[in-house]
Amino acid sequence: MNGKIYNSRVKIMRNLLDGKMRTVKISILDEIEKYERRQFYRLETSMEISYLLLTADNANDFKEAVKSNRLLEMKGFVTGTTIDLSGGGVRFTSDKLLPENGMIITHMTANMDGTVKHYIFLGKIIKSDKHREVRGVFEHRMQFVDLKQDAREELVQFIFQCERERLKNRKV
């Protein structure tokens, strides 16, 4: 079932050991359900994302930008493309390798209920590797850092709205 983990109650009907091979016949008692190991649902989505790696060189600019609410006016933002998004972080691609444990600011815009929303998050790069299939592209996994509960709830609401629209469009 495509590498995913599924869960159901079963009854073992027969359990045989033939040399080194074990065969187990089961009867499924409940409906099979996908088991979600993650704390947050992941929405597969392709959106533009811009990000800025925080370094010793721009640390003072970052502090000033936070105080004056002008993060997006900082110089050096680079664009990438999201792969998936959750309430805990984002996976995205870009043409630059990022340092693991590096801190970044991300910016995404989204249309929610006819209003353009700007999402600005501070995050930590958990992993950054060459993309398996596309030369010159890198894939990054970023975990949100110090995300306020109301901002996380709004993001999760946006994710579920996107998923509802996707499901609605599939039925049509």
Per-residue model confidence (pLDDT) at position 77: 92
Cα separation, 172 vs 169, whole angstroms: 5
Q: Which of 1-10, 106-115, 144-153, 160-169 has the lowest mean pLDDT?
A: 1-10
DSSP 58-116: THHHHHHHHHTT-GGGSS--EEEEEEEE-SSEEEEEESS---TT-EEEEEEEEEETTEE
Tell me, yes or no, if the pTM score tops 0.75: no
pLDDT at 88 over 70: yes
Measured in whole angstroms, the distance separating CA 62 from the mean position of its chain's CA atoms is: 24
Per-residue model confidence (pLDDT) at position 83: 93
> What pairing do the DSSP bridges indicate for beta strands 103-112 and 115-130?
antiparallel
Domains of the chain: 1-37 (no CATH), 43-171 (2.40.10.220)
Per-residue model confidence (pLDDT) at position 38: 54
Average pLDDT over residues 10-21: 88
> Does 40 or 82 have the greater pLDDT score?
82
> Does 153 or 41 have the greater pLDDT score?
153
